[in-house]
Amino acid sequence: MKVIFMGTPEFASQALEALVQAGHDVGYVISQPDRAKDRGKKLQPTPVKETALKHGLRVLQPDSLRQNNILLQLFKAYEPDLTVVAAYGKIIPVEYLDIPKYGTVNIHGSLLPRHRGASPVQSAILAGDVTTGVTLMYVEEGLDKGAVIAKAETPVGRKTCAMLMEELSILGASLLVEEMNSIENWREKAVPQDDALATHSGIISKKDGEIDFGKTPVETERRIRAFDPWPGAYTYLNGEPFKIWKAEVSNKKSDLPPGTVEAVSEKGIEISAGGGILVAEVVQVPGKKRMATADFLRGYKLTEGVRFGKIGG
């Protein structure tokens, strides 16, 4: 197949790699522009760009697809059989969608119509979904509303967002390559989504990671997993940011104000949360790496009654 691939993060790299390994002709790879990391240091290529360059593929990184006649003409001149989109990060204008012989498809990181939008993996964890997965769907006007070609599922369990992202990227790549063997039948078997069942996931910001200990321990533990690796679930200790990377839900109850330290041991810091107890097991303070609470407590004296959160908050 002659394929145009559009993607940006690590989630999309697996699909590009799978297309190349399956022998498909990827004529162009479209990725978002390189961006500076680590507070304005040198530009870093996107993960998809790195994968493309490894295979000697042509990479284009336009600032915008809209009113981009040069890019539109390149699409048409290449005469692709298929355009594959995976976490590209921009809306694809309608004039691009019908250029390929078999249309434009997207690998989405949820079981659509559940969790349409920008953060489906995080949303699945936050919602306490038992299973999640990937959906291969047609790209149409409207956010993630296209007809569904195929799905693949996996249990959520106690996985972090990072773990699920890696698993879903592999699952999506395998689903795409497998389904391309019957691409002539896609239009016939594609099933429209039921909009009445749709839920939506928005763009995540850094402040979304702030822990609200008024929420239950179960909700808080999900937040910790959902925002690993970014932005990280955080609170404050004596006015300084304090991240919690791993926690367990205790079966104990608590009458103390939310965010109050109930007990401290090498096994974890027991924190009052929504009438229950959350046990912080892996934490991080500014200037340090993630560490087990036992290691943290060797260098920091934390006692019962201390309260996490913003000072005066």
pLDDT for 149 beyond 80: yes
If one counts the domains in the chain, the total is 2
Residue 304 lies in a domain: no
Q: For the residues of 84-150, what is the DSSP string, one character each? A: EEES--SPPPHHHHTSSTT-EEEEESSSTTTTEES-HHHHHHHTT-SEEEEEEEE--SSTT-SPEEE
Look at residues 182, 201, 220 and tell me which one is the last residue of a structural domain.
Answer: 201
> Is there a single domain that holds both residue 168 and residue 225?
no
Residue 137 lies in a domain: yes
Q: How far apart are CA 293 and CA 95, in angstroms?
A: 54
> Is there a single domain that holds both residue 60 and residue 153?
yes
Q: How far apart are CA 96 and CA 220, in angstroms?
A: 42
Higher-confidence residue: 142 or 38?
A: 142
Which pTM does this prediction carry? Answer: 0.95
Which tokens go with 61? 């990184």
pLDDT for 37 beyond 90: no
- Predicted pLDDT at 41: 74
> Is there a single domain that holds both residue 84 and residue 34?
yes
Residue 8 lies in a domain: yes
Residue 68, classed as helix, strand or coil, is coil
Residue 172, classed as helix, strand or coil, is helix
Using one digit for the tens of pLDDT, what is the confidence trace for 227-284?
999 999 999 999 999 999 999 999 999 999 999 999 999 899 999 999 999 999 999 9
Position 214 confidence tier, pLDDT thresholds 50, 70, 90: very high
Given its phi and psi angles, is residue 128 left (phi above 0), alpha (psi -120 to 50 degrees) or beta?
left
- Predicted pLDDT at 56: 98
What is the arithmetic mean of pLDDT over 100-117? Answer: 98
Map tokens 């934390």 to a residue.
302
Look at residues 201, 230, 264 and tell me which one is the last residue of a structural domain.
Answer: 201
> Is there a single domain that holds both residue 244 and residue 284?
yes
pLDDT for 313 beyond 60: no
Residue 196 lies in a domain: yes
Q: Which 8-state DSSP code applies to residue 185? A: G
Residue 309, classed as helix, strand or coil, is coil
CA angle 274, 279, 282 (to 5 degrees): 130
Q: Can you give the CATH number for the domain in which 232 is found?
A: 3.10.25.10
Residue 310 lies in a domain: no
- Predicted pLDDT at 114: 98
> Is there a single domain that holds both residue 47 and residue 72?
yes
Using one digit for the tens of pLDDT, what is the confidence trace for 217-227?
999 999 999 99
What is the arithmetic mean of pLDDT over 78-91? Answer: 96
> Is there a single domain that holds both residue 180 and residue 162?
yes
Q: For the residues of 158-171, what is the DSSP string, one character each? A: T--HHHHHHHHHHH
- Predicted pLDDT at 217: 98
pLDDT for 96 beyond 70: yes
In the predicted model, what is the mean pLDDT of the chain?
96
> Is there a single domain that holds both residue 197 and residue 261?
no
Q: Quote the strand ranges of the chain, DSSP E.
A: 2-7, 25-30, 35-36, 43-44, 59-60, 82-86, 104-108, 116-117, 131-138, 148-155, 200-201, 234-237, 240-253, 261-265, 268-273, 276-284, 291-292
Contact 241, 219 (CB under 8 A): no
pLDDT for 173 beyond 80: yes
- Predicted pLDDT at 266: 87
- Predicted pLDDT at 40: 64
Q: How many CA atoms lie within 13 A of 89 on its CB side?
A: 17
- Predicted pLDDT at 143: 87
Which of 88-92, 180-184, 214-218 shows the lowest mean pLDDT across its residues?
A: 88-92
> Is there a single domain that holds both residue 245 and residue 194?
no
- Predicted pLDDT at 36: 84
> Is there a single domain that holds both residue 186 and residue 98?
yes
Domain of 37 in residue numbering reads as 2-201
> Is there a single domain that holds both residue 74 and residue 164?
yes
What is the arithmetic mean of pLDDT over 291-312? Answer: 91
Residue 313 lies in a domain: no
Position 39 confidence tier, pLDDT thresholds 50, 70, 90: low
